[in-house]
Homo-oligomer: A and B are copies of this chain.
Amino acid sequence: MPTMKSGPVWEGKTVYKATITVRLKESVLDPQGSAVQGSLHSLGYEEVRQVRIGKTMEVWLETADFQEASDRVDAMCRKLLANPVIEDYEFRLEKGA
């Protein structure tokens, strides 16, 4: 991992990896999804019924414990990583690089 600081434990901190998924709310029309669906159809994938496109973000962070990591990631999502007007988010947290 390019910019990451060395080992998993450092001054009592642990590296966690959060995998965040940000999706458009269901009520919001997804232009990218519709376009991709159109392309899939014209490529012969007519069995495709719907496509929705979202973002996945992997954030590595170094915190004291799991709870802190979880709180911080949640705050990042609320503040910056998702736009509550049109998006929902969820994340998964795991220990280690």
Interface residues of A (CB under 8 A from B): 1-5, 13, 15, 21, 23, 33, 36-37, 39-40, 43, 45, 47-63, 72, 75-76, 79-81
Contacts and interface: CB of A to CB of B under 8 A. Distances in A.
Number of copies: 2
A82 to B, nearest CB: 12
A72 B45 contact: yes
14 contacts: A4-B49, A5-B49, A36-B57, A36-B81, A40-B59, A40-B80, A43-B79, A43-B80, A45-B76, A51-B57, A53-B55, A53-B56, A53-B58, A55-B56
Nearest to A50: B60
A5 B50 CA distance: 9
